[in-house]
Amino acid sequence: MIKVGVAGYGVIGQRLADGVALQRDMELVGVADVSPTLAVRALKEKGMPYNLYNAMAGNEGLFKEAEIPISGTLEDLIQKCDVILDATSAGIGAKNKELYKKYNKKAIFQGGENNDVADVFFHGYANYEKGIGKQFLKLTSCNTTGLIRAVDCIDRKVGVKKVAITIIRRVADPGDYHRGLTNALQVDKAPSHQALDLMTIMPHVDATGILVHTPVTHGHIITVVATPKEDISKEELLDIFSQHPRIRNVRLADGFLGNASLFRYARDLGNPRGDMYEIAVFEESVVKSGKDIMFAINIPQEAVVIPENIDAIRAAMEMQRDRIEAVTETNKYLGLGKWMSK
């Protein structure tokens, strides 16, 4: 049984903890955070299903005042684990790396950290083999994770020469205030980091892209123009996507009009927090232009990277050396692909 800890119990950390707890071949030792945040207070109100560790020396009094029990320090948690999922704020993971090295533990960092924090820039489907046995892995961002899923899915069937993307990016997560109240769109300098990151993971694909920040919170939309090596029809593309457990084909005609529709659907399914692990392809968005094929996908930014984090544990700990065996185990325990047989 692989023992796993989560450093940082925020938007991603909460979901990582829940995802690990679902894996029957892993044990969640505990989670760590620096103060009694709302997420930590909710953890207490739920009966403390996970052991909590204090990640900042001197903050013990804050937890005591809030009557939230702690099981030790971050260093205590690290020593009890085989691998740490570091979901701390950007830059903190690089500092925590020194602790992971001190105790010779493996760690997996999130997309906000610089690439040089890890041995491998990792994606479960696209380059699983490169992460096997490595001490430090870094995940791609939410947008890049979903984008690579779609492009890799096509590439493994018919090959992909190049892609051009436009990302309509939510400006903040639900509940965030630090970005302010806005009524504007903002264009980033091209090419976007997601296109560059895709080429890092899949160097044989020529990618470029533009990113537009939008004043919404529930998900990103990415439009993709792909040039496959073999000519494929709209129907063939949708069939390729339909075989992937982390991709849903949805229809505007059925009421899936955009990001908010998918968020509501996830809540109606009873998914915790309204989360979806899978990306969605809007069927009516698929169009051909010569050999190029265009489509739009929805990225549920709060949960989409969780499966790939679990894949990373499997690779780093050499739980499965075969890519398909690994992702299949992750998918099974997270309940991914259940809709495929319905």
- Phi/psi at 155 (5° precision): -60, -40
Please give the average per-residue pLDDT across 252-281, as a whole number: 95
Say what the pLDDT of residue 219 is.
87
CA distance 282 to 247: 11
Say what the pLDDT of residue 266 is.
95
Say what the pLDDT of residue 218 is.
83
End-to-end C-alpha distance for the chain, whole angstroms: 33
- Determine which of 105-114, 162-171, 240-249, 332-341 has the lowest per-residue pLDDT on average: 332-341
Q: 298 falls in which pLDDT band (50, 70, 90)?
A: very high
Q: At residue 321, does pLDDT exceed 70?
A: yes
Q: At residue 305, does pLDDT exceed 60?
A: yes
The residue type found at 6 is V
Q: At residue 315, does pLDDT exceed 90?
A: yes
Pairing of β 292-299 and β 279-282: antiparallel
No. of helices (H) and no. of strands (E), the chain = 11, 15
Model pLDDT for residues 27-63, shown as the tens digit of each residue: 999 999 999 999 999 999 999 999 999 999 899 999 9
Q: 121 falls in which pLDDT band (50, 70, 90)?
A: very high
Say what the pLDDT of residue 264 is.
94
- Residue of 184, 194, 253, 178 whose CA lies nearest to 216: 184
Say what the pLDDT of residue 339 is.
76
Say what the pLDDT of residue 179 is.
67
Say what the pLDDT of residue 176 is.
65
Say what the pLDDT of residue 342 is.
57
Of residues 85 and 340, which shows the higher confidence score?
A: 85
Say what the pLDDT of residue 246 is.
97
Say what the pLDDT of residue 337 is.
87
Exactly one of 26, 83, 85, 142 is catalytic; name it. Answer: 142
Asked if residue 171 lies in contact with residue 214, where contact means CB atoms within 8 angstroms, the answer is yes
CA distance 32 to 73: 8
Domain topology for 2-139+305-341: Rossmann fold (3.40.50)
Segment (H or E) for 297: strand 292-299
pTM of the model: 0.95
> What is the residue whose two structure tokens read 């491998």?
120
Percent of the chain with pLDDT over 90: 88
> Mean pLDDT for the chain?
94
CA distance 211 to 195: 10
Q: 338 falls in which pLDDT band (50, 70, 90)?
A: confident
CA distance 117 to 95: 10
Q: At residue 129, does pLDDT exceed 80?
A: yes
Q: At residue 5, does pLDDT exceed 90?
A: yes
Say what the pLDDT of residue 171 is.
76
Please give the average per-residue pLDDT across 74-103, as a whole number: 96
Q: At residue 232, does pLDDT exceed 90?
A: yes
CATH superfamily for domain 142-299: Dihydrodipicolinate Reductase; domain 2 (3.30.360.10)
Model pLDDT for residues 131-189, shown as the tens digit of each residue: 999 999 999 999 999 999 999 999 999 999 999 999 998 877 776 666 676 778 889 99
Model pLDDT for residues 268-294, shown as the tens digit of each residue: 999 999 999 999 999 999 999 999 999
Percent of the chain with pLDDT over 70: 97
Q: How is the chain split into domains, by residue range?
A: 2-139+305-341, 142-299
Please give the average per-residue pLDDT across 218-237, as a whole number: 95
DSSP assignment of 50-95 equals S-EEE-STT-HHHHHHTT-----BHHHHHHH-SEEEE-PSTTHHHH
Say what the pLDDT of residue 185 is.
87
142 noted as active-site residue: yes
